[in-house]
Chain A
Amino acid sequence: DQQVKQNSPSLSVQEGRISILNCDYTNSMFDYFLWYKKYPAEGPTFLISISSIKDKNEDGRFTVFLNKSAKHLSLHIVPSQPGDSAVYFCAASSSNFGNEKLTFGTGTRLTIIP
């Protein structure tokens, strides 16, 4: 049972345009969400996070939006750059789980077209 879903395995976006990556979750206990970026042959690196008390968090070109009622979050990258080409993983956790670690989605491969 996939509790965190990224339904688009891949996405191609023109350089300079906005990239929007989506993530849905089913467990209403999740209250903390993160996005990780992964290049080939490297481990994932943390990108941005959001707590359930917020609906938006911004860091430079990256903005994460959270819609709790829809159990949906999205990552916006604007403007998109060639270096943004990577696999993006959405992850979720819950403070109610104690020390439970992150539940990840299956990833979306983003390709930025120059």
Chain B
Amino acid sequence: KAGVTQTPRYLIKTRGQQVTLSCSPISGHRSVSWYQQTPGQGLQFLFEYFSETQRNKGNFPGRFSGRQFSNSRSEMNVSTLELGDSALYLCASSLGTGGDNEQFFGPGTRLTVL
């Protein structure tokens, strides 16, 4: 069974631009969560989607948004990029919602903002 895939793996953008990251969950998984990983903050929860609905949102500004499609694939969008948005963005999928559902992570998209 294929794991969680994320595209692109690496991305370089400049301040003010916008970016869209994509995540394909494990087949059959309906929950997709997004995390931002930075050296100083560790992994921080961005948001979770389940059945095309945003179920939870972390403490990030409105520039960070996402959506989920009917096939459970998810996209994350960051508008008006700032230098501090440089990070590894990880997507995780699970069968259901709830913290005790085992999450499977993708390899991440490394975003560099210049």
Contacts from A to B (Cβ < 8 Å): 6, 32, 36, 41-46, 49, 51, 89, 91-95, 97-107
Instruction: Determine if A43 and B92 form an interchain contact, defined as CB atoms under 8 angstroms apart.
Output: yes
Q: How far is the CB of A25 from chain B (nearest CB, A)?
A: 13
A49 to B101, CA, bound (A): 11
For the complex with contacts A93-B100, A106-B40, 4 further pairs of A-B residues with Cβ separation under 8 Å are A6-B42, A43-B92, A45-B105, A101-B45
Chain B interface extent, by class: 20 to 34
Instruction: Take A43-B92, A44-B43 as given contacts and tell me if A99 and B48 are in contact as well, using a CB distance cutoff of 8 Å.
Output: yes
A92 CA / B102 CA spacing, docked (Å): 12
Distance in angstroms between the alpha carbons of A97 and B35 in the assembled complex? 18
Contact (Cβ within 8 A) B42 A104: yes
A100 touches B99 (CB 8 A): yes
- Is A43 a contact partner of B106 (Cβ separation < 8 A)? yes
Choice from B90, B100, B103, B106 contacting A95 with Cβ under 8 Å: B100
A37 to B11 Cα, complex, angstroms: 24
Q: Is residue B44 contacting chain A, with contact meaning CB distance below 8 A? A: yes
Shortest Cβ distance from residue B20 to the other chain A in the assembled complex, whole angstroms: 19
Nearest opposing residue in chain B for A94, CB measure: B99
Q: Say which residue of A95, A99, A105 sits within 8 Å of B42 (CB atoms).
A: A105
A107 to B88, CA, bound (A): 14
Most buried by B among A41, A92, A98, A99: A99
Bound-state Cα–Cα, A42 to B9, Å: 11
B65 lies within 8 A of chain A by Cβ: no
